[in-house]
Amino acid sequence: MLIKITKNQAADAQEYIPNEGSVTLFPAGEYLANLTPDGKIEILVTRQLKALFSFSQFREKVSQGDFVVLEN
């Protein structure tokens, strides 16, 4: 899925190489997103960095206009 973040967002991010999570700034722009097997939305910041949102958090961001789904 392709999403657009309409304004800068700060979110907890995780590295693909196991490490402690950290808060990362997502600049406004387009990002790839995937549905994980446990029902979360994974937004890929870089190849090594991802942010996870529950479905309800993601839905809230979409309803507020912070996220726009461009391609499903």
Which among 38, 42, 39, 43 has a CA at the least distance from the CA of 55? Answer: 39
Give the pLDDT confidence score for residue 59 in this predicted structure: 93
- Which residues are paired to 37 by β-bridges? none
- 28 in Cβ contact with 38 (< 8 Å): no
* Averaged pLDDT, groups of 10, the chain, 72 residues long: 87 58 75 91 82 89 93 88
Please tell me the total count of domains within the chain.
1
Give the pLDDT confidence score for residue 52 in this predicted structure: 84
Give the pLDDT confidence score for residue 20 in this predicted structure: 52
Percent of the chain that is helix, strand, coil (3-state, to 5)? 15, 50, 35
Give the pLDDT confidence score for residue 44 in this predicted structure: 86
Domain that holds residue 20: 2-71
What CATH number does the domain containing 16 carry? 2.30.30
